[in-house]
Amino acid sequence: MSNAALTSTWHHERRGYVRCRTIGHSWFDYDSLWTPQFGVPLTLRCERCGTERRDTLSSYGQLLARHYHKPQGYDLTKGEPRLSRDDFRMVLLAIRQEEALRRGDLVEDDVEDAS
C-alpha cells in the first residue's frame, strides 16, 4: 500500500470512515423524514459515519427496495486509489496504535518491539 493511498484514508478517519470500511457500519434505527412511493420506510443510521440505509418494506416485512445515503466525502473520488479490506485493516491498526500512544497506553519502545 502506498503512502498516497494512506493520505486520503487518514483524512477520512475523522468521520469514522476507516472503521466503517474495515469492520462495517454500526447501525441503529432512526426516525427519518423520507417517504417511499410505496411500502413502509425503515431507516438505519451508522453511529460512526452518519450513512443512512433506507429500506422500503412490504406490509409483511419483505424488503422491497434499499438505498444508501452517504455523507459528503464518504465515497472515494475519481482517480483516488481503491484500497482493499486488508489495506483498511492496516490503516485501522495504525490508527489504534496512534490513539494508544496519545492516551499513554503504549510507549514508543512498545511500538518498536511489535514491529
> Which range has highest mean pLDDT (11-15, 68-72, 74-78)?
68-72
* pLDDT value, residue 42: 96
> Is residue 52 within 8 Å of residue 68, measured between CB atoms?
yes
CA atoms within 13 A on the CB side of 81: 14
* pLDDT value, residue 105: 75
Global confidence as pTM: 0.70
- Output the DSSP codes for 72-101: TT-SPPTTSPPPPHHHHHHHHHHHHHHHHH
Round to whole Å and give the CA distance between 52 and 48. Answer: 11
User: Any idea where the domains of the chain sit in the sequence?
Assistant: 3-114
> In this structure, what DSSP letter does residue 59 have?
T
pLDDT above 90: residue 43: yes
Compute CA 10 distance to the chain's CA centroid, rounded to the nearest angstrom: 12
Which residue in this structure is represented by grid cell 454500526?
Answer: 26
Cα distances from 39 to residues 30, 52, 97, in angstroms, run: 17, 18, 46
